[in-house]
């Protein structure tokens, strides 16, 4: 029977547990990056709607990037 002080039998603390897989927040650019050229191609006949949708998606991309960077700085400051 193994003793309770055996280091090979102990589980790591919850704060040091490793996640398996990529966090979804880092995979989001793989979704909206191909959408940008498709918007320009598909809405070629309606330039007003094309520009509004394109810049809306682009603004969302910048907001998402700012969120990721601010979260990174928040983690580093603690």
- Asked whether the predicted pLDDT for residue 18 surpasses 90, the reply is no
DSSP per-residue string spanning the chain: ---TT-GGGPPPPGGGPPP-S--HHHHTHHHHHHHHHHHHHHTTT-HHHHHHHHHHHHHHHHHHHHHHHHHHHHHHH-
* Mean pLDDT to the nearest integer, 16-29: 76
Q: Which range, of 13-27, 33-47, 56-70, averages the lowest pLDDT?
A: 13-27
* Mean pLDDT to the nearest integer, 15-41: 83
What residue segments make up the domains of the chain, in order of their start? 23-77
* Mean pLDDT to the nearest integer, 22-45: 90
* Stronger pLDDT, 18 or 56, i.e. the higher one: 56
Q: What percent of the chain has pLDDT over 90?
A: 42
């Amino acid at each position: 029977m193994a003793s309770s002080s055996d280091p090979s039998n102990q589980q790591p603390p919850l704060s040091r547990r490793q996640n398996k897989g990529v966090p979804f927040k880092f995979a989001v650019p793989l979704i909206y990056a191909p959408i940008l050229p498709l918007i320009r191609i598909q809405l070629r006949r309606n330039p007003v709607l094309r520009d509004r949708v394109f810049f809306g998606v682009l603004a969302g991309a910048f907001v998402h990037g700012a969120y990721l960077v601010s979260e990174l700085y928040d983690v580093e400051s603690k």
